[in-house]
Amino acid sequence: MPTRRTVVAAAGAAAGLIATGGAAWADPGQPVAMTRHGPVRGYLDRDIKVFKGVRYGADTSTRRFRAAVAPERWTTPADATAYGHASPQRSDEADQSEDCLFLNVWTPALDDGGRRPVMVYVHGGAHANGSGSSPLYDGAALCRRGDVVVVTLNHRLNVFGYNGLGQLLGGAYGPSGSVGNLDLMLALEWVRDSIAAFGGDPANVTVFGQSGGGAKLVTLMAMPSAAGLFHKVITMSGQHVTAMGPQHAELRMRAYLDHLGLTPERAGELATLPAGRLVEALEMADPIEKGGIYFWSVMDHDTLPRHPFVPDAPRESAHIPMIIGNTHDEARAFTAGDERNFSLTWDTVAAKLAPEFVVDLNAQYVVDWYRRMFPEMSPVDVFFAAATCGRSRPGHLIQAQERARIGDRTWMYQLDFGSPVEPRLGAYHSFDIALAFDNCHQPTSKTGTGLEAREVARKMSETFIAFARTGDPNNAAIPAWAPYDLERRPTMVFDVDTRSVDDPRADERRLFQVAPFLKQGT
């Protein structure tokens, strides 16, 4: 791969050739593509052309908490061989900066009129952490398998992307509860205007995302200003039903200001404080819920005029085909790290289970119900099963049900195949990422590269590609998959023996649906 120094030198040598088009820079090992803002120079990953760190928005440090703007145009090829900065955050994510509006593209060919399906991935990490730079999101394998164009991206997170300043200051800060989502829209506008130069079809864009990424996508489905920027949606454990209400957003903002020693009247000073101080303050306790303070999309009656799936599925998105997915053992990602959870008894399991629920049910009642219904289960089995069904599954079911009520363009899946590398984790939250990207070989994958893992990856990635191409996930790699309906509830269970199952875990669904589900802190 070329270094930044060699690419910049080559770019300087080519500065006078912009008027003659990309052919003037032709170099098989250093492909150049023209974006809406200027040319970029990438590199080859064998047969795939890769462009990393492509700027789609201007530095947000001078527009903190406000809608981002497009960058100034450039004329000489910009280096696109390394990932761009990630949003400031509390995690150990490398290379953090407020100048974080960058995306990455993998493509089989450039500007060839191929009109390939475009698959734009939004990373997880709640609304607080992460970036589009994980090895699990590398798009080369999907490109090779399906002749598609893959895009990943970074955007503003936590208080930088979602907060309650709109309720306190209004004006230019009115949309502050959604500027992270507005970043996503700016990236999708870039895709609309530039992706044809990368061999993609701007009229066939699928957005997909896991966890917080999927949650942001269902939020975009309820934002009128996002209409037309994407044509299909896949959510992977993105179970948002509600956004943060405006009163709770203001309450959190006031508590955050107080933690920083600022009064609400001085809220405007947040725009000029060092970014590091804002990140450090995220360590404070949330004033409403357990754990650290958490900012995410705000239902402000304007930029986001309604909750994503309350009171129903947004009808303005009913025409958009959608896949809704979850994993069989979601909650193990959050609970398997506590060794005590593997030695629970019938006397201790309820007390450990209760804090995991996001629906208000009596934990002892739930434990007793599992003992009656599934006498073969141990206390440990009950803990992990009930934690998933009482924490991570309800939102997915609500989304599928509400979508089914307004049409037949929704398909639901459940991943049952569990990690051969970490058997205790099973099919945990985020385990479907490597499989969907066909990235079992990546160093951070816990799928291993055995025959079974590679076969499940083939089925999942082929299915995602088929959906991106046509809006229907059916393909030769899987059995027939019917859209979700309220009578049969057909669900594709991805496993070594991939199969369509009507209403999997039906009894558990009915148990937990007697209590209402809202996202924590709504």
Map residue 96 onto helix, strand or coil. strand
CA distances from 4 to 1, 49, 102, 316, 507 (A): 10, 17, 16, 44, 57
Q: Could you tell me if 14 and 23 are in contact, meaning their C-beta atoms sit under 8 angstroms apart? A: no
Q: Could you tell me if 216 and 127 are in contact, meaning their C-beta atoms sit under 8 angstroms apart? A: yes
* C-alpha count within 13 angstroms, C-beta hemisphere, residue 423: 1
CB atoms closer than 10 angstroms to residue 348: 14
Phi, psi of 116 (to 5 degrees): -75, 150
The yes-or-no answer on residue 211 being catalytic is yes
CB atoms closer than 10 angstroms to residue 82: 16
In our burial notation (b when 16+ CB lie closer than 10 A, e otherwise), range 308-338 reads bbbeebbeebbebbbbbbbbbbbbbbebbee
Radius of gyration of the chain (CA): 23
The span from the CA of 209 to the CA of 233, in Å, is 9
The span from the CA of 188 to the CA of 232, in Å, is 13
* C-alpha count within 13 angstroms, C-beta hemisphere, residue 463: 29
Q: Which of 87, 211, 392, 445 is catalytic?
A: 211
Q: Could you tell me if 351 and 363 are in contact, meaning their C-beta atoms sit under 8 angstroms apart? A: yes
CB atoms closer than 10 angstroms to residue 93: 19
Helix axes 212-220, 179-194, angle to 10 degrees: 80
DSSP 480: -
CA angle at 51 for the pair 3 and 161, rounded to the nearest 5°? 110
The span from the CA of 275 to the CA of 158, in Å, is 12
DSSP 213: H
Which sequence positions are flagged as catalytic? Answer: 211
